[in-house]
Amino acid sequence: MNALLTVEHLSKDFVLHGQGGTALEVMNDLSLTLHAGECLVLAGRSGIGKSTLLKMLYGNYLAQRGSIRLLFSDGPLELTELPAHAWHPLRRDVIGYVSQFLRVVPRVSAVEVVMEPLLARGGDAQEARLKAETLLDRLNLPPRLWQLPPGTFSGGEQQRVNIARGFIAEHPLLLLDEPTASLDAANRAEVISLINEAKARGTAMLGIFHDEDVRSQVADRLLPLDDHMMTKTSHFQDTHSSEQSS
């Protein structure tokens, strides 16, 4: 079977403008493949570049060199050359992303935050609401919170809203950045179930999990990043602006 995602010779530098154009090389010649129904777990020390890789796959960070390809039934799509306007439909329909922290939008209730990816596809509002409530219920978010904006929620409550939002639209490719970091054991177990159900319906997942127990229950393969990546600095002049962190 052909891989859904193929990354080849990917490299990434950050140019630090505040420090006279110092370049921080975080990724050097990284390659990987990911198949449908598989969960590949990124491993490696803090600061090695795990989140950076997910952000590159989601189009938040640009690559200096290398290729990121998605394979569709009508052929491959090269993401490093994708024009900005093409990212919106790709994120809506193909690539899902559970960031480590929920981006809180004032006055939007928790259930609406979770429904939004389905509504963006033109889905029925009643069905979307029902599915959102089912997920929030599975993740033990008390119903009294569903109609409230998550801004004042605890870290773990916000993270569960974020996870429900990430899983609701059943994207073929799902990127998970420490989704269980601030969860208790019962909720961690629920997230493990969600991941394994997604796998069973063919979702390809690339995830970061520090928890050994979670890792052992979801990972089909581990990718230790130390072999591929090195962090070093060198000086060069650059007049272009670097990306914003998001």
Beta bridge partners of 17: none
Give which of Mg ion, ligand ATP, none residue 152 binds (C-beta under 5 to 8 Å, depending on kind).
Answer: none
C-beta closer to ligand ATP: residue 31 or 147? 31
C-beta closer to Mg ion: residue 172 or 179? 179
Q: How far is CA 50 from CA 12, 45, 148, 187, in A?
A: 12, 9, 33, 23
Interactions with ligand ATP, residue window 35-64 (CB under 6 A): 46-52
Taking CB under 6 A as the rule, does residue 28 contact ligand ATP?
Answer: no
Binding map of ligand ATP across residues 1-20, x = CB under 6 A, - = no contact:
-------------x------
Tokens 């429904």 belong to residue: 115
Q: State the minimum distance, in angstroms, from the CB of residue 65 to ligand ATP.
A: 17
Taking CB under 6 A as the rule, does residue 73 contact ligand ATP?
Answer: no
Tokens 């979770």 belong to residue: 114
Taking CB under 6 A as the rule, does residue 209 contact ligand ATP?
Answer: no
**Contacts with Mg ion, residue ranges (CB under 5 A):** 51
- What 8-state DSSP symbol labels residue 244? P
C-beta closer to Mg ion: residue 43 or 108? 43
Helices (H), the chain: 50-57, 84-93, 110-120, 125-138, 155-168, 185-200, 212-218
Residues that bind ligand ATP (CB under 6 A): 14, 24, 26, 46-52, 243, 245
